[in-house]
Amino acid sequence: MTQSIDHLLACPSCSGDLDRESAGYLCLGCGRAFPIRYGIPDFRLAPDPYISIEAEIAKIEGFIAPGRTFADMVRAYYVLTPESPPSLHSRYMAAMDSAVTRGAAMIAKLQNRFPEAGASAMLDLGCGTGGMTIAGSRQYTQVLGVDVALRWLVMGKHRLVEAGIDAPLICANAESLPFREGVFDAVLADAVVEHVRDSSRMRDETLRV
């Protein structure tokens, strides 16, 4: 059962309180509604820069199926993505596999540099399919993963289940995080800054939460 994170959340648009509804979240401040898609809260204020929300949902419907493993979904995704060079698919998948080890090394480096930082809550920002989320769950009491790409989160959700990890995943923009101030002891990001629209806002949001 996924741990409750409602006490950590705030509207990414106005920072207002959120009311949990069956279909999603409603901001009590600005009235903005945020849906839950495939069991993942979607707090995006802007779509993934690489694909529209409609096209992304169509692609998810193409790779998600009962009985498919995380690896099955990744392979099916690339079959549905001809614009991605097939010669690079094995490299992409190897990078996903190595993300756990890479994430563990990043976490160790951070903890060595900032030993005074707590180990209660960690945010994996731009988590993709959750490699560093898995690594973080071994060091922090609570770990959350955030990414703008819902398709990767859907795959990542299955990856976490297969790994026996209970970590919530949230779809959101790195420049507009749906969290209250100061709720994390650490925020880590692996290969993210080059993909955001505004790296300065990403930095400010990282420091805020």
Q: Distance (Å, rounded) from C-alpha 131 to C-alpha 143?
A: 12
How many residues are there in the chain? Answer: 209
3-state class (DSSP) for residue 131: helix
Query: Where does the pLDDT of residue 90 fall: very low under 50, low under 70, confident under 90, or very high at 90 and above?
Result: confident
C-beta separation of 189 from 113 below 8 A:
no
* pLDDT at 182 exceeding the cut of 90: yes
Q: What is the mean pLDDT of the segment spanning 127-143?
A: 96
* pLDDT at 87 exceeding the cut of 50: yes
Please give the structure tokens belonging to residue 98. 């190595």
Helix (H) or strand (E) holding 27: strand 24-27
* pLDDT at 2 exceeding the cut of 80: no
C-beta separation of 29 from 14 below 8 A:
yes
Q: Distance (Å, rounded) from C-alpha 46 to C-alpha 165?
A: 29
pTM: 0.93
Q: 174 Cβ partners below 8 Å, 6+ apart?
A: 125, 126, 146, 148, 189, 192, 196, 201, 202, 205, 206
pLDDT digits (tens, 9 = 90+) for 145-178: 999 999 999 999 999 999 999 999 999 999 999 9
pLDDT digits (tens, 9 = 90+) for 23-48: 999 999 999 999 999 999 999 999 99
C-beta separation of 37 from 23 below 8 A:
no
What is the pLDDT at residue 3? 61
User: How high does pLDDT run on average in the chain?
Assistant: 94
* pLDDT at 22 exceeding the cut of 90: no
Query: Where does the pLDDT of residue 1 fall: very low under 50, low under 70, confident under 90, or very high at 90 and above?
Result: very low
